[in-house]
Amino acid sequence: MKTSITIGGYARNDIKGTVEFVRQAERLGVERVWSAEAWGQDAVTSLAFLAAQTDRIGLGTGIMQISARVPSMIAMTSLSLQALSNERFTLGLGVSGPQVVEGLHGVAYDSPLTRLRETVEIVRMGFQGKKISYEGKRHTLPRLGGEGKAIRLDFPPTKIPIFLATLAPKSLEYTGASADGWLGTSFSPDHAEAHLAHIRAGATRVGRSLGDIELNVACPVSIGENVEEMIEARRAGVAFNMGAMGSGTTNFYNDAFGRAGFSDDAQAIQSLWLAGKREEAARRVPDAMVTQFGALGTAEMVSERFRLYRDVGIDSLTLRLDTDGTKAKLEMLEHILDLLRGLV
């Protein structure tokens, strides 16, 4: 399996340490680094800097929030990064959620799949070197009634892979039908079909197969002997996803866990979180909502989890390491890569 790492998302990150971590990950053979975007660092600036600090590792946005930028600017930014990085860039896109889209960007969170589809179509027009002329439900270029005209971006036609971070069934189907890759979260190899069935259905509908889409999923990793301690350390993060990553009515993470068989648990955790009972919400997280959504335990246990990801068809793991400090992260990363190379 391919491997990738993730950086960014929060402004308090150690920039010097991050650069060193990415450089060493490149040396170790990690395929790609994804730059996160929430309400701290944006997904683009750090990749532009890393393009000058690295030579081979792939650079991807994980993800650009489509509501924070117009589609033509997404295309221009992507083409710029592709040129700066000597063709190492991958565009990861996602719709984010109502808390961020409406609370931070002031954009209505309506018809997210329509917005995503139209964004991808406009961006691809830019990549293909076409004049950007588009009439959709959410985007119209040039603006109707205005003085503008269709413009071709000042770049040659360029192939840039587009990965989509999707969770809802219809969005997963669209990913299967249209994307070069999938950025999966809240994914459990024990319940793989909760996601993959929808991607496969979308792919089949347009004459593609699941093998035509690179399946890249986030995998939190903890290695050690004290399994109970590691589970306890993860509960709060799961509770945060159930309660804070969305609104009371729209939370794709919550829904994804529900499709994997944890609907009652997810709803109970969300209710506690939204009531301000965050410690109770964390205690309500069952062990399986931790252990089945990542790789945790002894080296042998973690290897078995990696084998399961591989056997259900996952192509690449985005490793989320549970340790701090550049040296500790690199030691853990090297251990993980050794385990992956040892899979049979």
pLDDT at 249 over 90: no
Structure token digits, residue 106: 């002031």
pLDDT of residue 115: 97
pLDDT of residue 8: 84
C-alpha–C-alpha distance, residues 57 and 25, integer Å: 8
- Read off the pTM: 0.96
What is 2-221+294-341's CATH topology? TIM Barrel (3.20.20)
Whether cis (ω within 30° of 0) applies to the bond prior to 189 is no
**Pairing mode of beta strands 64-65, 89-94:** parallel
Compute the mean pLDDT over every residue in the chain, rounded to the nearest whole number.
95
pLDDT of residue 333: 98
pLDDT per residue over 321-342, tens digit each?
A: 989 889 999 999 999 999 999 9
pLDDT of residue 163: 99
pLDDT per residue over 172-224, tens digit each?
A: 999 999 999 999 999 999 999 999 999 999 999 999 999 999 999 999 999 99
Domain positions in the chain are 2-221+294-341
Per-residue burial over 222-249, b if 16 or more Cβ lie within 10 Å, else e, is bbeeebeebbeebbeebbbbbbbbbeee
pLDDT at 63 over 90: yes
Q: What is the dihedral of CA 321, 325, 330, 332, to 10 degrees?
A: -40
pLDDT of residue 126: 98
